[in-house]
Structure 1
Amino acid sequence: MEGAIEMNGTVDERARAALAEKPDGVVEQIAAKAGVSPADILAILPEGAAITVPAEKWAQIWSDLSTWGDILMIVHTEDIVLEVEGRLPDGSEGHGWFNIHGDSPIGGHIRKDRCVSIVFVDRGFHGRRSCSVWFMNGEGRAMFKVFVRRDKARALIEPQVERFEALRAQFA
């Protein structure tokens, strides 16, 4: 099969081969092709493209993200890529969940205790820069991602890029 990744290589070898084929592709698709986790792909991005911080920084990061205005939240599973634009509401913990409510289309309940790390991702995506914050679980998958939005011309919204870069710099 053309473009197939040799599955008997190491995780690192398979991840690097798949990433080399489509360096600006969808991380989850690259990972699936290589039989690795999205975290394995993020780990081999060029230096500075993925900055990982401990999940203990959740409150600080969430609080900052909630001041960015309308963001794009994506939940990507094998079955759906759900994209929701809106302000990231404040949250509170209760009954084992991180609960987000407010005047936004973004709401619900998150198993915060399943988050093992938070990754600031700044990389090319289909020929354009993409900036996002990934909340990762122990299986190496994103629980959800918060993206810097684009304007009508598909350019990143500059004030959000500045906020992303400032927040990432606190942990780099």
Structure 2
Amino acid sequence: MGDLIRQDLAEQPDGVLEMIAEKRDVSMQAVLDCLSSDVASRVAGSLFEEIWGDLTSWGQITFVVYTADGFFECEGAISPGEFGHGYFNVHGDSPIGGHLRMDRCRYIYFVDRPYFGTRSCSLRFINEEGGVMFTIYVGYNKDHTLKADQLARFESLRQKAR
């Protein structure tokens, strides 16, 4: 199956990864694992709290939840959270908040690849079944270039987490 996924990635190097997973009836983890190491790197989900803590200082990011029926995007700052009652609870002045089952986070992928012709950098939080729990994207400027300060933080965090 990996060869077919890599063929799909080669045919659409800036396409939607979720569509490849749906087409091949595989998890997003299977698709992410077929990306080259210079495009995607994986760290243990146990680093979630450390990574989330770093994200709280990034400013406005894009938070995405993707399902088979569509995706929800929210722009805002990442608020600190705390564990309680089986969830990582996120509250604050940001529109990004809720209750996350981070005990189910198996891996976090740092992904740096083109998306419809534009560079895109994201952190994809992967659950025990290989599905994406949610994705956090480095923010864009008005001219659709990545925010330089967040890009530097993304690259630094990726190096530190390895």
What range describes the TM-score normalised by the shorter chain of this pair?
over 0.9
The residue that corresponds to 2:80 in the other structure is 90
Give the deviation of 1:47 after TM superposition.
2.2
Contact 1:135 1:143 in 2 (8 A): yes
Give the deviation of 1:41 after TM superposition.
1.3
Q: Secondary structure at the match of 1:152?
A: coil
Gaps of 5+ in 2: none
Is 1:162 the counterpart of 2:152? The answer is: yes
Q: How does 1:1-172 map to 2 (within 5 A)?
A: 11-172=1-162
Q: Distance in 2 between matches of 1:58 and 1:33?
A: 29
Q: Distance in 1 between matches of 2:135 and 2:101?
A: 14
Query: Aligned pair count?
Result: 162
TM-score of the two chains, using structure 1 as the length reference: 0.91
Contact 2:112 2:122 in 1 (8 A): yes
Indicate the larger mover: 29-38 or 89-98. Answer: 29-38
Give the deviation of 1:17 after TM superposition.
2.5
Q: For 2:56, give the aligned amino acid.
A: S
Q: Distance in 2 between matches of 1:125 and 1:141?
A: 20
Give the deviation of 1:113 after TM superposition.
1.1
Contact 2:44 2:106 in 1 (8 A): yes
CA offsets 1:3-41 (integer angstroms, 9 cap, x no match): xxxxxxxx2122122222212111101111122221111
Q: Distance in 2 between matches of 1:80 and 1:86?
A: 20
Gaps of 5+ in 1: 1-10
Q: Secondary structure at the match of 1:155?
A: coil
CA offsets 1:131-152 (integer angstroms, 9 cap, x no match): 0111101221110011001111
Q: Which has the higher contact order (CA 8 A, sep 6+)?
A: 2
* Identity in percent: 46
Aligned-residue CA RMSD in angstroms? 1.0
TM-score of the two chains, using structure 2 as the length reference: 0.96
Contact 2:61 2:76 in 1 (8 A): yes
Deviating beyond 4 angstroms after TM superposition, the runs of 4 or more aligned structure 1 residues are none
Indicate the larger mover: 86-95 or 32-41. Answer: 32-41
CA offsets 1:146-170 (integer angstroms, 9 cap, x no match): 1001111111111000000000011
